[in-house]
Amino acid sequence: MMARRMLHIVSWLVLVAVLASCGGATATNFKATSAVQPIITGIPIDQTPPAASGTELKKDAITAAPQVTAGAGITVVGETNATTSAGTAEASTTTGMATEGSASSTAAVTTTGAAVATTSTAAATTTETTPATSASPTADAGATTSAAPGPNGTLTIMSHDNFVLSKDVVTKFEQANGVALQFLKAGDAGAALNKAILAKNNPLADVFFGVDNTFFSRAIDADIFAPYTPAALQAVPSDFKLDPQNRLIPVDYGFVNLNYDVAAFGAGKLPLPQTLRDLVKPEYKGKLVAESPATSSTGLAFMLATIATFGETGSYTWVDYWKDLHKNDVQIVDGWDTAYNKNFSGSAGKGVQPIVVSYGTSPAYELDASAGKLKEPPTGNMVPPNGAFRQIEFVGVLKGSKHVDLARKWVDYMLSADVQNDVMPQMVVYPVVPSATLPDVYKQYAPVPQQPAVIAPDVIAKNRDRWIQQWTDAVGQ
């Protein structure tokens, strides 16, 4: 009995010591590594693309705003025995940028300098991680290093969970500026932003990446970002610049739209739907899987696209559309990972639905990630007018940063050729600088939709909760 009691006492003392070493940290999973982990979208950026045949991807993506118009005629690009279209987090985005959220979320700190592995948990409400949460095919996320902080200290970059850049790109900045980079992953785009806002008076980082246009107004209203205008911003097209004061600087963008399983459509099979409204026809009963906008950034983006397509007034509104989809047995799941990797028949999961809400880069990613095993993408894009929702992701210097000059240099770096050329291979999102290079597979199978849905960030912020409640009522969730 005495031995057992002593064992309990020793165990309790060990627990106290562990908790003391965590120091009440606001981040979880302190890991040493030399590469940035992924974000998105975001969209939240759910943000990252699908897994190549046989591989599961994690993500729920990222995207941006829509407005009101009805569309017909689907833009089809790419091969297929039927009509094919472009491909795409993840996750954001995909692109995704984003991962599934739950009642509590943890922030992971990735340091390129010396780091001890301590873990603690931080409570926070989350949705999912933008953009899309999928792993980057080339990211060296697990590498560790014992390098000490640079002569100019440590610069902390807070983001959603799907932010990733290649190791060489990160190292180049560190060496050029004599600084160690620490990446604080804080959940999906919405959860990460909430944590940054709550820590406004004692910021957790110097820079924040991952605000997208669905959370843009919330970020600006919270007044947590300091104005800064990088010289390279002049090369960015004006439609990506949403803040006249340049507190948030655009870095990348992506699209959420419908993907389809090429094998399910064509001669002697189902005809490919040409409009969103086609999906309520009897022949497509039970053929669509979509994510809930209440729990998924990908689902939120698609809901916004339907609002842009059908509008809120008139004889047939977006709410009527969702009621009809519900009657036509649309399958609603919590997030992108379940929808794409389990329900979708064109993915590794080989589910039963041949149409899924995913990302414009998903088909291209499927081909790229197959490492030559596939000659054509097994999936395609369906992009009717206003049927793709564009997400833009931003970076900004946090007020109260202890390293303002270095933080500004990081913002500059995000628009440099090194980073802009890296965002598509790593995060499967489009760079905002037009001169950036894209891998050929994305040029061919992930063309930018010509008429994406657009809704101003302040309109989204004002109506988001009401729209989600209307959607919930329409589909009986």
Q: What is the pLDDT of residues 134-161, one digit of tens each?
A: 322 233 332 223 246 678 889 999 998 8
Which of 55-59, 74-78, 208-212, 289-293 shows the lowest per-residue confidence on average (mean pLDDT)?
74-78
The predicted model gives 242-256 an average pLDDT of 96
Query: Between 96 and 196, where is the model more confident?
Result: 196
What is residue 39's predicted lDDT score, i.e. its pLDDT? Answer: 27
Q: Are the CB atoms for 167 and 59 separated by under 8 Å?
A: no
Would you say the C-alpha torsion 308, 76, 421, 187 has a positive or negative sign? positive
Q: Can you state the percent helix, strand and coil of the chain, rounding each to 5? A: 30, 20, 50
DSSP code of 375? S
Instruction: Grade residue 102 by pLDDT with cuts at 50, 70 and 90.
Output: very low
| 160 against 353, higher pLDDT | 353
Strands (E), 194-352: 207-212, 225-226, 249-261, 288-291, 331-333
Question: 335 falls in which pLDDT band (50, 70, 90)?
Answer: confident
pLDDT tens sequence across 307-331 = 999 999 999 999 999 999 999 999 9
What is the structure's pLDDT at 108? Answer: 54
pLDDT in tens, 366-393: 999 998 899 999 999 998 888 999 999 9
| pLDDT given for residue 98 in this prediction | 35
Q: In degrees rounded to 5, what are phi and psi of residue 5?
A: -65, -40
Euclidean distance between CA atoms 233 and 442, whole angstroms: 24
The pLDDT of residue 148 is 60
Burial per residue of 304-334, b for 16 or more beta-carbon CB atoms within 10 angstroms, e otherwise: bbbbbbbbeeeeebbbebbbbbeebebbbbb
pLDDT at 3: 47
> Measured between alpha carbons, how far is 49 from 431 in angstroms, rounded to an integer?
16
Q: What average pLDDT does this structure show over 121-143? A: 33
> Residue 258: helix, strand or coil by DSSP?
strand
Least-confidence region, from 13-27, 135-149, 160-174: 135-149
Topology match between the domains 32-45+95-254+391-437 and 255-389+453-475:
yes
Please give the CATH number for the structural domain made up of 255-389+453-475. 3.40.190.10
62 and 90 in contact (C-beta within 8 Å)?
yes
Residue 380 near residue 259 (C-beta atoms within 8 A): yes
The amino acid occupying position 267 is A
Q: What is the Cα–Cα distance from 206 to 409, expressed in whole angstroms?
A: 11
Confidence of residue 120 (pLDDT cuts 50, 70, 90): very low
Q: Which of 228, 224, 163 is nearest to 199 (CA)?
A: 224
Of 186, 183, 190, 424, the closest CA to residue 301 belongs to 190
Name the nearest CA neighbour of 132 among 10, 225, 43: 43
> What sign results for the dihedral spanned by CA atoms 185, 191, 197, 198?
negative
> What pLDDT score does 51 carry?
43
* Residue 364 confidence class, pLDDT cut points 50, 70, 90: very high
Burial 400-428, CB ≥16 within 10 A → b, else e:
bbebeebbbbbbbbbbbebbbbbbbbbbb
Q: Is the pLDDT of residue 189 over 60?
A: yes
Give per-residue pLDDT as tens, 261-315: 999 998 889 999 999 999 999 999 999 999 999 888 889 999 999 999 999 999 9
CB atoms within 10 A of CB 13: 10
Q: pLDDT-derived band of residue 349, with 50, 70 and 90 as boundaries?
A: confident
Beta bridge partners of 32: 111
Give residue 154's pLDDT.
92
Name residues whose C-beta falls within 8 Å of residue 175's C-beta, 6 or more positions apart in sequence. none
Per-residue pLDDT at 401 exceeds 80: yes
Residue 110 has what pLDDT?
54
Q: Is the pLDDT of residue 344 over 70?
A: yes
- Residue written as tokens 């880069």? 361
Q: What topology does CATH give the domain 32-45+95-254+391-437?
A: D-Maltodextrin-Binding Protein; domain 2 (3.40.190)
Amino acid code (one letter) for 93: T
Question: What Å distances lie between residue 123 and 105, 194, 203, 358, 392, CA to CA?
Answer: 6, 11, 17, 29, 27
Other beta carbons less than 10 A from residue 117's beta carbon = 9
Sequence-ordered strand ranges (E) for 336-418:
355-359, 379-382, 389-398
Cα angle 349, 265, 345 (rounded to 5 degrees) comes to 10
Residue 20 pLDDT > 80: no
**Domains of the chain, residue spans:** 32-45+95-254+391-437, 255-389+453-475
Q: What is the rounded distance in angstroms from the CA atom of residue 195 to the CA atom of residue 172?
A: 29
User: With 70 as the cut, is the pLDDT of residue 45 above it?
Assistant: no
- The residue type found at 5 is R
Rounded CA gap, 424 and 123, in Å?
A: 32
- At residue 254, does pLDDT exceed 60? yes
Look at residue 357 in the predicted model and tell me its pLDDT. 96
301: how many CB neighbours lie within 10 A of its CB? 41
Residue of higher predicted confidence among 418 and 46: 418
pTM: 0.71
Residue 240 pLDDT more than 60? yes
- Determine contact, residues 382/261, Cβ cutoff 8 Å: no
Please state the rounded mean pLDDT for residues 86-102.
33
Query: Looking at residue 152, what is its pLDDT?
Result: 87
